Chains A and B, each alone.
Chain A
Amino acid sequence: MSAPVLPLAGASLRARGLTAVLTVLTVALSVLLLVGVEKVRSGVRQGFENTISGADLVVGARTSPTNLLLYSIFHIGNATNSVSFETYEIVARAPGVAWTIPISLGDSHRGRRVIGTTEAFYDHYEYANGRRLELAEGRAFEAPEEIVLGAATARDLGYQLGDEIVVAHGGGDVSFAEHTDHPFTVVGVLKRTGTPIDRSLQVSLAGLEAVHGGGPDDHDHEAEEHGHDDHEHDEHDHHGHAEPDTITAFIVGLETRPLVLRLQRDLNTYGGEALTAIIPGLALAQLWSVVGVAEQVLAAIALFTVVIGLVLILTSVYSSLAQRRREMAVLRAVGARPRDVFLLMIGEAALLAGLGGALGVAAFYAAYGLYGVEFAERAGASLVGVRPGLFDIGTIAGVTLAASLLAVGPAFRAMRAALADGLAVKY
Chain B
Amino acid sequence: MTPSDKPESAKDAAVDLRDVRFRWRTGPDVLVVDRLSVAAGERVFLRGPSGSGKSTLLGLVAGVAEPQSGAVRVLGSDMARLSGAERDALRADGMGVVFQLFNLLPYLSVLDNVVLPCRFSRRRRDRAVASSGSVAAEARRLLDTLGLEEKARRGAKASDLSVGQQQRVAAARALIGAPRLILADEPTSALDADARDTFIALLLDEAKTSGAAVLFVSHEAALAERFDRAEDLATLNGAWTTQGRAA
The chain A residues found within 8 Å of chain B, CB to CB, are 1, 4-5, 7-8, 11-12, 14-16, 326-327, 329-340, 419, 422-424, 426
- B103 contact set on A, CB distance < 8 A: 330
B210 CB–A CB distance under 8 Å: no
Asked if A334 meets B92 with Cβ closer than 8 Å, knowing A326-B102, A422-B64, the reply is yes
Q: Which among A5, A12, A330 has the highest number of chain B CB atoms within 10 Å?
A: A330
- A15 contact set on B, CB distance < 8 A: 106-107
The chain B residues found within 8 Å of chain A, CB to CB, are 55-56, 58-59, 62, 64-65, 84-85, 88-89, 91-93, 97, 99, 102-108, 112, 116-117, 119-122, 173, 185, 247
Contact B102 A330 (CB under 8 A): yes
Contact A332 B107 (CB under 8 A): no
Assembly CA distance A422 to B55 (angstroms): 10
Contact A8 B105 (CB under 8 A): yes
Contact B97 A336 (CB under 8 A): no
Assembly CA distance A331 to B97 (angstroms): 11
Contact B84 A338 (CB under 8 A): yes
- A5 contact set on B, CB distance < 8 A: 119
Q: Which among B88, B93, B173 has the highest number of chain A CB atoms within 10 Å?
A: B88
Q: Which among A4, A12, A334 has the highest number of chain B CB atoms within 10 Å?
A: A334
What's the minimum C-beta distance from B129 to chain A, rounded to whole angstroms?
Answer: 16
Assembly CA distance A7 to B106 (angstroms): 15
What's the minimum C-beta distance from A268 to chain B, rounded to whole angstroms?
Answer: 73
Contact A335 B91 (CB under 8 A): yes
- B120 contact set on A, CB distance < 8 A: 4, 334-336, 340
Contact A330 B88 (CB under 8 A): no
Contact B99 A333 (CB under 8 A): yes
Contact B59 A422 (CB under 8 A): yes
28 sampled A-B residue pairs with Cβ under 8 A: A7-B119, A11-B107, A11-B112, A12-B107, A14-B107, A15-B107, A327-B105, A330-B99, A330-B102, A330-B105, A331-B105, A332-B64, A332-B88, A334-B97, A334-B116, A335-B89, A337-B84, A337-B88, A340-B120, A419-B64, A422-B62, A422-B65, A423-B62, A423-B185, A424-B55, A424-B56, A424-B59, A424-B185
What's the minimum C-beta distance from A322 to chain B, rounded to whole angstroms?
Answer: 14
Assembly CA distance A327 to B105 (angstroms): 6
Assembly CA distance A416 to B213 (angstroms): 31
Besides the known contacts A335-B117, A338-B88, A424-B185, 17 further A-B residue pairs in the complex with CB atoms under 8 A apart: A4-B120, A5-B119, A8-B105, A14-B107, A330-B103, A333-B99, A334-B97, A334-B116, A334-B117, A335-B89, A335-B121, A336-B88, A337-B84, A337-B85, A419-B64, A423-B99, A424-B55
Contact B97 A423 (CB under 8 A): yes
Assembly CA distance A103 to B1 (angstroms): 84
Assembly CA distance A325 to B102 (angstroms): 11
Contact A11 B108 (CB under 8 A): yes
Assembly CA distance A326 to B100 (angstroms): 12
Assembly CA distance A335 to B59 (angstroms): 13
- A422 contact set on B, CB distance < 8 A: 59, 62, 64-65
Assembly CA distance A258 to B121 (angstroms): 76
- A331 contact set on B, CB distance < 8 A: 105
- B99 contact set on A, CB distance < 8 A: 329-330, 333, 423
Assembly CA distance A316 to B137 (angstroms): 36
Contact A333 B55 (CB under 8 A): no
Assembly CA distance A72 to B58 (angstroms): 85
What's the minimum C-beta distance from A347 to chain B, rounded to whole angstroms?
Answer: 14
- B122 contact set on A, CB distance < 8 A: 1
Assembly CA distance A170 to B139 (angstroms): 81
CB-CB nearest in chain A for B176 = A334
- B64 contact set on A, CB distance < 8 A: 332, 419, 422-423
Contact B92 A335 (CB under 8 A): yes
What's the minimum C-beta distance from B160 to chain A, rounded to whole angstroms?
Answer: 12
- B105 contact set on A, CB distance < 8 A: 8, 11-12, 327, 330-331
What's the minimum C-beta distance from A195 to chain B, rounded to whole angstroms?
Answer: 55
What's the minimum C-beta distance from A304 to chain B, rounded to whole angstroms?
Answer: 33
Contact A330 B55 (CB under 8 A): no
- A333 contact set on B, CB distance < 8 A: 62, 91, 97, 99
Asked if A423 meets B58 with Cβ closer than 8 Å, knowing A11-B108, A334-B173, A338-B84, the reply is yes
- A14 contact set on B, CB distance < 8 A: 107
CB-CB nearest in chain B for A3 = B119
Contact B108 A423 (CB under 8 A): no
What's the minimum C-beta distance from B135 to chain A, rounded to whole angstroms?
Answer: 13
CB-CB nearest in chain B for A10 = B107
Contact B88 A335 (CB under 8 A): yes
Contact A423 B55 (CB under 8 A): yes
Assembly CA distance A335 to B64 (angstroms): 10
What's the minimum C-beta distance from A1 to chain B, rounded to whole angstroms?
Answer: 8
What's the minimum C-beta distance from B164 to chain A, rounded to whole angstroms?
Answer: 18
What's the minimum C-beta distance from A9 to chain B, rounded to whole angstroms?
Answer: 10
- B112 contact set on A, CB distance < 8 A: 11
CB-CB nearest in chain A for B65 = A422
Assembly CA distance A329 to B56 (angstroms): 14
- B62 contact set on A, CB distance < 8 A: 333, 422-423
What's the minimum C-beta distance from A102 to chain B, rounded to whole angstroms?
Answer: 72
Cβ-closest 8 pairs across A and B: A335-B92, A15-B107, A422-B64, A335-B120, A4-B119, A333-B97, A424-B55, A337-B88
